[in-house]
Amino acid sequence: MAIVEVKVPQLSESITEATLLQWKKKPGEAVQADEILIEVETDKVVLEVPSPAAGVLTEIIQPDGATVTADQLLAKIDTEAVAGAAAAAPAPASAAAAPAPAASAAAPASNSKAGIAMPAAAKLMADNNLPTGSVPGTGKDGRVTKGDVLGAVASGAKPASIPTGVPTASLPQVSGPAAPDLGSRPEQRVPMTRLRARVAERLLQSQATNAILTTFNEVNMAPVMELRKKFQDAFVKEHGVKLGFMSFFVKAAVHALKKFPVINASVDGNDIVYHGYFDIGIAVGSPRGLVVPILRNADQMSFADIEKKIAEFGQKAKDGKLGIEEMTGGTFSISNGGTFGSMMSTPIINPPQSAILGVHATKERAVVENGQIVIRPMNYLAMSYDHRIIDGREAVLGLVAMKEALEDPARLLFDI
């Protein structure tokens, strides 16, 4: 027997623990070298844990939902065993006691058809000493209803056994108001993921520690749209990626940050830190929550470089493969709510940055030009800023500089 240990990968210096998601293999099953066994979720990213060798997974030390630390033992693999052999004994009590997500805990392993018990059903099961998972659910998504429990009681379902040596009369009799029967209005309580909890923490921190104001402006996107239409085919042929709007917004933002460096600065105690580089965070929605990967040295990137990197970030966010180093730092952020149809918003600053640009949906609107009402594709821009270090003058003029760069993209070529 040759045993190889599976351990938690190294975490970032700022991360002390992580949560196991779901094992993709069971004890006794064969695994291949580098095959992903489980994912580990931190408050920033989700890390994959590959098999260090080919063999048979003989023992799982930490179950789904367990809280773990770097280099902690997760499982064991026998490189000489044959798949299908008897699985190892269950995980030790200490591992079994590790907290599991509520959604997983609510799904009883003893009955694949038993689901989450509705409040009235749960109370009725408790009143009749019926163990969790003993009643199959017929409700939506396998939920256990009050009728399911009444049927089980009528059919003679066995109550949970009373511990030996404890007189029945000595057990406390608990009474209380009956839980309302929600009927077709189910509820489900699910704990936040580490990433979602971290996002919530940082947003509250931002609102509590920054003097946030938001300034607005509107931009005529016709010049940008005309450029995209004129050069789209040649751009795709040359670079293998579509020319989107975000590269223009990034370029316009960098253009304004160069003119007003305080917008690209951050607060450190009583000091203002002016950054001589432009690392632009791009807010990206993922199945596990909002993430903000960073475009390093965006001022040195071409339109094609920006578009390729944003596409890469989007795919990685979807797959949960963004690395910690890709989301660390940043001097200014851009949030594109227009992707989802947002017309207006007041974005929240991403600490320790001091400003963020909110981009919205481009819609045809009636505007006045030279005394005439005309139809133009308009986009409302919103820039939230930390008023502790950024005055209204710099904020407004900074947003105007972005507007002017978008309405006359030639400014980006000549840096004017």
Sequence-separated (6 or more) residues with CB below 8 Å from residue 248? 224, 303, 406, 409
Q: Does the annotation mark 391 as catalytic?
A: yes
Q: What is the 3-state secondary structure (H, E, C) of 287-309?
A: CCEEECCEECCHHHCCHHHHHHH
The letter for the amino acid at 412 is: L
Q: Between helices 246-259 and 303-319, what is the axis angle to 10°?
A: 120
- Active-site residue, from 34, 71, 391, 408: 391
Q: Does the annotation mark 78 as catalytic?
A: no
- What CA–CA distance (Å, rounded) separates 156 from 208? 57
Return the closest-CA partner of residue 279 out of 304, 309, 308.
309
- Active-site residue, from 181, 239, 299, 387: 387
The count of other CB atoms within 10 Å of the CB of residue 352 is 18
- Which residues are the active-site residues? 387, 391
